[in-house]
Structure 1
């Protein structure tokens, strides 16, 4: 098994755990402003740094309806003549809160670790390693990853904020790789969803690994296991 495939569920568990823990406070914050959670909430690590190009957004939303009607109607975003998406003042306020709430939830989760696990003490080093992977991955990432990297990090970002924000961007390197793999196999969104286990599915996953793996080449072998073990030790 490739390292990229091995670490992906660990990345997803840590990131999704923080996002799930933050959701109640985000729902409350959004409700007070009369808006729904939208693309600014899911993609805060990128959209806080730069406008989102049309091709990146289309890829990032390919498994959904792709509709941005709610975000436009609620004044969260605007779209220019080149189909590039820009946060409004409200959208930026929401995205900044989503980032902060996710980081706070992560810190709370990780502080409640079992005593034998490293927990928060490992977070600055893990953030450093992920940052190097992000920088190296720019040479091989697709549209969504490039829109999300480098991620937005305020000057006073805590180690927890740096780590969860960077993980949010890193997930898009493999997501781009997977879309490229199933498209190269002649499949559509519905086709990849319906594809059963078998030789064709295995070939798509192997190609995804091949396209995702180069991002991690910047890490030495010991650093790869350090990253995998460190993320694996964080509660999620």
Structure 2
């Protein structure tokens, strides 16, 4: 099995766990400003750094309706003449809070482990390893990954915030690889979602691995196992 496929569940578990832990506080903050969580919340690691090109957003939302009507109506984003999406002042306030809340929730989760088990102590090292993967992956990432990386990292950010932010960007390297794989097989988004397990699905997943694997060439074999073990050890 490819390393890219092996490490992905650990990446998703840690990132999604932090996001869910932060959800209630994000919803409360948004509600105070008359807003609901939208695309800016999901793509915080990229949209805080740069406008999101139309192609990247369309790919990032391809498994959904793709509508940005609610975000526009709430005044969270605006679209320029070239079709790129920009945060408004309100949108930036919301998105900065989403990033901060996710980092704080992650730190709270990871501090819960007994002292004899790895927890916050390994987070700086994991953040460093993921940062190296992100930098190396600039040469192979697709449109959404390029919009999401390098991620926005505020001055003085905690290791926990850095790790979840970098994982948020890294997840899009494989997502881009998967879209490229099923498109190369002649499928649509609806078709790949409905495709059952079998030889065709296996071939697409193998192609996804092939396209995603180069990101991890930045790490030695020992560092790859260190990253996988460290992510797997963090609670969520």
Range of TM-score over shorter length: over 0.9
Structure 2: tracts of 5 or more residues without a match? none
Q: What's the CA shift for 1:115?
A: 3.9
Partner of residue 125, structure 1: 125
Task: Specify the SS of the correspondent of 2:139.
Answer: coil
CA distance in 2, matches of 1:90, 1:39: 14
Task: Specify the SS of the correspondent of 1:138.
Answer: helix
Q: TM-score, normalised by structure 2?
A: 0.99
Structure 1: tracts of 5 or more residues without a match? none
Task: Specify the SS of the correspondent of 1:141.
Answer: coil
CA distance in 1, matches of 2:152, 2:214: 23
Partner of residue 20, structure 2: 20
CA distance in 1, matches of 2:141, 2:116: 36
CA distance in 2, matches of 1:116, 1:58: 45
CA distance in 1, matches of 2:8, 2:114: 23
Q: How far does the alpha carbon of each residue in 1:49-93 deviate from its partner, in whole angstroms, 9 at most, with x for none?
A: 000000100000000000000010100000011000000000000
Partner of residue 171, structure 2: 171
Q: How far does the alpha carbon of each residue in 1:111-156 deviate from its partner, in whole angstroms, 9 at most, with x for none?
A: 0124432100000000000000000001000000000000000111
Q: TM-score, normalised by structure 1?
A: 0.99
Partner of residue 144, structure 1: 144
Q: What's the CA shift for 1:39?
A: 1.0
CA distance in 1, matches of 2:85, 2:201: 34
Task: Specify the SS of the correspondent of 2:224.
Answer: helix
CA distance in 1, matches of 2:123, 2:52: 29
CA distance in 1, matches of 2:232, 2:117: 10
Q: What's the CA shift for 1:211?
A: 0.2
CA distance in 1, matches of 2:124, 2:34: 36
Within a 5 Å distance, the mapping from 1:29-48 to structure 2 comes to 29-48=29-48
Q: What's the CA shift for 1:19?
A: 0.2
Q: What's the CA shift for 1:40?
A: 1.0
The answer as to 2:112 corresponding to 1:112 is yes
CA distance in 2, matches of 1:185, 1:164: 32
Partner of residue 219, structure 1: 219
Q: What's the CA shift for 1:209?
A: 0.2
Partner of residue 191, structure 1: 191
CA distance in 2, matches of 1:8, 1:173: 11
CA distance in 1, matches of 2:115, 2:183: 46
